[in-house]
Amino acid sequence: MKIKTIVTITVFSLLLFNCKDSNNNDTAAVELITVEEMDSLLELEKVQLVDVRTPQEYAEGHIEGAINIDFSDENFETLISEVDKSKPVAVYCGRGGRSGKCSAYMKKAGFTKIYDLDGGITEWKYKGKETVK
């Protein structure tokens, strides 16, 4: 009976400490934002803007001020590491798939605040917002 009690206490202790540690590692929250919220952030110049589409997609039109870091580039991790982790970052792609994956990577990499444009540049254009070439 004593061995079963010790094992039970040990298992619960490990679970408790593991849960506590994983919460401490959540250094960033990824916030899905609307076109209007993105527009406000850009007007306030409070974010670094990253377009994670291909260079060809970027050349066809992007949000003004965005830097292009292709999520599918073999050097993506090196390129994204050059973005300042201590400042807020807003990411977008075509519709939201790649930027979602990029946001998850950035969260694990230690970025402090990440915004992901819901619907990507497709939604941006649909709402009548301008792009530049």
User: Which residues are marked as active site?
Assistant: 93
Residues 6+ apart with CB under 8 A from 125: 61, 131
Place of tokens 């075509």: 94
Q: Which residues of 42-69 are buried (b: 16+ CB within 10 A; e: fewer)?
A: beeeebbbbbbbbeebbeeebbeebebb
Tally of CA atoms within 13 A in the half-sphere of 62 that contains its CB? 22
* 49: helix, strand or coil: strand
